[in-house]
C-alpha cells in the first residue's frame, strides 16, 4: 500500500477484512469498523483541540477523577467523545477509561459486541492550557472466549498486553496523526483535514536499535532506583564517561509525544518506579497507557520493559494499575534491563557505591 494515497479505511479492509481464509478473518471480524469509530472520535477531538481556548474547554472541570487528580474540562469532554462515538456500534461489550472509575458496560439500548476498548482520552493534559502536544491512547482486546457479552466485568480487562488485538494513539501536534497496529507492524496515518480522512503516510515504522536520546523527568532523580541512576549518569557523562558519546535529553510531559518521537527517530522513554510514591508501582497505567504503547513499540522493532519484566507479559491486578515503563530503541532498553538485573543480583557494586555519587572525590577525570 502506497504512502500518501491509502486511506485508513482502505488499509483496514486490505489488512483485516480481506484476510486469507485463515482464522484471522473470523478473529478480527468487526475490528476494522471499531477502529474506524475510534478514528472518528480522534477526528472530533482534533477539531475540539484546534479551537484552543476559543472552544471554551480550557481550565479545570472542577471535578476529581478516580485517581484523586483534578480533571481538566477537556479530560471530561474527550472521554465523552470516545464513549458516544463507540458505544452504539454493536462491536463493544464494555469500555475502560482513565477518566471513569469502573467498567463502562454498553447500555442495554445498544447491541453488544465481542471487543473491549480501554483508553486514555487525553494524555498529557497538563499541556492543554499551554498549547502543548497532547494525545489519546487506546487498546483493544477481545472479550474472553465464551463469556456472555452482558456479563463482561472488570476481570475481562485484566489480561496481559500480549492479548491485545489492536492498539494505537493519536498525537495532536502541528498535524494530527493516528499511529496504529493490528499485529502486522506499526503504521502512521496523517489527518487530511480538507477531506476528513486519515491517509497512510508512515507505513511499517521501524525504531532504530541504537540511540543517543533519552527521555525522563530528571526532577525525580533522587527517587530513582540505582540501575536507572546508573544509566542516566552514564548518559550525562557523555563522551567523558564509559559510553564515550554524548547524549541528548527530552521531556515533553506527554507519553504520546515521547513515544511518537521514538517511533520517528529512536530514543528511550523512562518513567521508572520511584521512592517518591513507594506505594505506587509506577506513574503510568498498564491497561490504557503502557500496554498499547508497548504493543506499538514492539511491532516497530523496539522493546518495552518494567526494568524486570516485558510489559506485555505483566498480568494486571486492577483496572487502573500502574507499572514502571522503559521503552524504545532495542539496544538501549536491553542495557537498562541488564543494569536492573545486575543490581538485583548485587553485581553492580561499583555503581551504587556513594564513592561514585556526583559529589564524591572520585569524579571521572574531566581533563581527558
Annotated binding site: 98, 120, 122-126, 217, 289
Q: In 2-92, which residue ranges form alpha helices assigned H by DSSP?
A: 8-12, 24-27, 31-50, 73-86
Give 31 or 293: the residue with its C-beta nearer to ligand AFP.
293
Per CB under 6 A, the segment of 28-36, 44-52, 121-129, 157-165 that binds ligand AFP is: 121-129
**By CB under 6 A, is residue 284 in contact with ligand AFP?**
yes
SS3 state at 28? coil
Give 282 or 316: the residue with its C-beta nearer to ligand AFP.
282
**By CB under 6 A, is residue 327 in contact with ligand AFP?**
no
- DSSP per-residue string spanning 147-161: --GGG--HHHH-S-G
- Distances in whole angstroms, Cα of residue 313 to Cα of each of 270, 286, 304, 310: 18, 11, 10, 5
Using CB under 6 A, which residues numbered 173 to 232 contact ligand AFP? 217
**By CB under 6 A, is residue 254 in contact with ligand AFP?**
yes
- Please enumerate, by residue number, every residue annotated as part of a binding site for substrate: 123-126, 217
Cite the beta strand spans of the chain per DSSP E. Answer: 60-64, 70-72, 92-97, 104-105, 115-123, 134-142, 166-172, 176-181, 187-192, 197-202, 213-215, 248-250, 268-271, 284-285, 303-305, 322-323, 325-328
- Least distance in Å: CB of 307 to ligand AFP? 16
Q: How many residues bind to ligand AFP according to rule CB under 6 A?
A: 11
Measured between alpha carbons, how far is 238 from 327 in angstroms, rounded to an integer?
21
Give 275 or 360: the residue with its C-beta nearer to ligand AFP.
275
**By CB under 6 A, is residue 126 in contact with ligand AFP?**
yes
Residue 191: phi, psi to the nearest 5? Answer: -75, 115
**By CB under 6 A, is residue 97 in contact with ligand AFP?**
no
- Least distance in Å: CB of 265 to ligand AFP? 18
Measured between alpha carbons, how far is 235 from 156 in angstroms, rounded to an integer?
41
Of the residues 33, 36, 48, 253, which one makes contact with ligand AFP according to CB under 6 A: 253
Give 36 or 76: the residue with its C-beta nearer to ligand AFP.
76
Give 73 or 142: the residue with its C-beta nearer to ligand AFP.
73
Per CB under 6 A, the segment of 29-37, 152-160, 238-246, 250-258 that binds ligand AFP is: 250-258
Say if residues 160 and 314 touch (Cβ distance below 8 Å). yes
- Least distance in Å: CB of 96 to ligand AFP? 16
Nearest partner of 250 among 293, 220, 214, judged by Cα: 214
Q: Which three cell numbers stand for residue 283?
A: 506513574
Give 182 or 255: the residue with its C-beta nearer to ligand AFP.
255
Of the residues 15, 28, 97, 125, which one makes contact with ligand AFP according to CB under 6 A: 125
Of the residues 93, 182, 255, 296, which one makes contact with ligand AFP according to CB under 6 A: 255
**By CB under 6 A, is residue 316 in contact with ligand AFP?**
no
- Please enumerate, by residue number, every residue annotated as part of a binding site for Mg(2+): 98, 120, 122-123, 289
Torsion angle, alpha carbons of 217, 58, 73, 290, to 10: -30
Measured between alpha carbons, how far is 231 from 343 in angstroms, rounded to an integer?
12
**By CB under 6 A, is residue 77 in contact with ligand AFP?**
no
Give 284 or 337: the residue with its C-beta nearer to ligand AFP.
284
How far is CA 236 from its chain centroid? Answer: 26
Given the rule CB under 6 A, which residues bind ligand AFP?
Answer: 123-126, 217, 253-255, 271, 283-284
Amino acid at each position: 500500500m502506497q504512502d500518501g494515497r491509502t486511506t485508513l479505511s482502505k488499509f483496514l479492509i486490505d489488512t483485516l477484512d480481506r484476510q486469507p481464509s485463515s482464522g484471522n478473518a473470523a478473529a478480527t471480524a468487526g475490528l476494522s469498523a471499531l477502529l474506524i469509530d475510534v478514528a472518528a472520535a480522534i477526528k472530533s477531538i482534533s477539531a475540539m483541540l484546534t479551537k484552543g481556548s476559543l472552544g471554551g474547554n480550557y481550565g479545570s472541570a472542577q471535578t476529581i477523577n478516580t485517581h484523586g487528580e483534578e480533571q481538566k474540562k477537556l479530560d471530561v469532554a474527550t472521554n465523552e467523545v470516545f464513549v458516544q462515538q463507540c458505544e452504539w456500534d454493536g462491536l463493544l461489550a464494555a469500555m475502560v477509561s482513565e477518566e471513569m472509575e469502573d467498567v463502562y458496560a454498553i447500555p442495554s439500548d445498544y447491541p453488544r459486541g465481542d471487543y473491549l476498548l480501554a483508553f486514555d482520552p487525553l494524555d498529557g493534559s497538563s499541556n492543554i492550557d499551554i498549547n502543548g502536544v497532547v494525545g489519546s491512547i487506546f487498546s483493544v482486546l477481545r472479550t474472553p472466549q465464551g463469556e456472555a457479552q452482558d456479563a463482561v466485568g472488570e476481570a475481562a480487562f485484566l489480561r496481559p498486553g500480549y492479548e491485545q488485538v489492536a492498539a494505537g494513539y493519536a498525537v495532536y501536534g502541528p498535524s494530527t496523526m493516528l499511529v496504529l497496529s493490528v499485529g502486522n507492524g506499526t503504521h502512521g496515518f496523517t489527518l487530511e483535514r480538507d477531506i476528513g480522512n486519515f491517509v497512510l503516510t508512515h507505513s511499517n515504522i521501524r525504531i532504530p536499535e541504537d540511540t543517543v536520546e533519552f527521555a525522563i523527568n530528571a526532577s525525580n532523580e533522587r527517587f530513582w532506583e540505582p540501575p536507572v541512576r546508573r544509566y542516566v549518569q552514564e548518559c550525562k557523562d557523555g563522551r567523558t564517561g564509559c559510553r564515550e558519546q554524548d547524549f541528548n535529553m527530552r521531556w515533553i510531559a506527554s507519553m504520546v509525544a515521547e513515544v511518537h518521537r521514538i517511533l520517528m527517530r529512536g530514543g528511550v522513554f523512562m518513567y521508572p518506579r520511584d521512592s517518591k510514591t513507594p506505594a505506587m508501582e509506577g506513574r503510568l497505567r498498564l491497561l490504557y497507557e503502557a500496554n498499547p504503547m508497548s504493543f506499538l513499540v514492539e511491532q516497530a522493532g523496539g522493546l518495552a520493559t518494567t526494568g524486570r519484566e516485558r510489559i506485555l507479559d505483566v498480568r494486571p491486578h486492577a483496572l487502573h494499575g500502574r507499572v514502571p515503563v522503559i521503552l524504545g530503541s532495542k539496544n538501549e532498553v536491553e542495557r537498562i534491563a541488564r543494569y536492573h538485573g545486575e543490581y538485583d543480583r548485587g553485581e553492580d557494586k561499583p555503581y551504587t557505591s556513594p564513592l561514585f555519587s556526583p559529589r564524591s572525590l572520585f569524579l571521572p577525570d574531566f581533563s581527558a
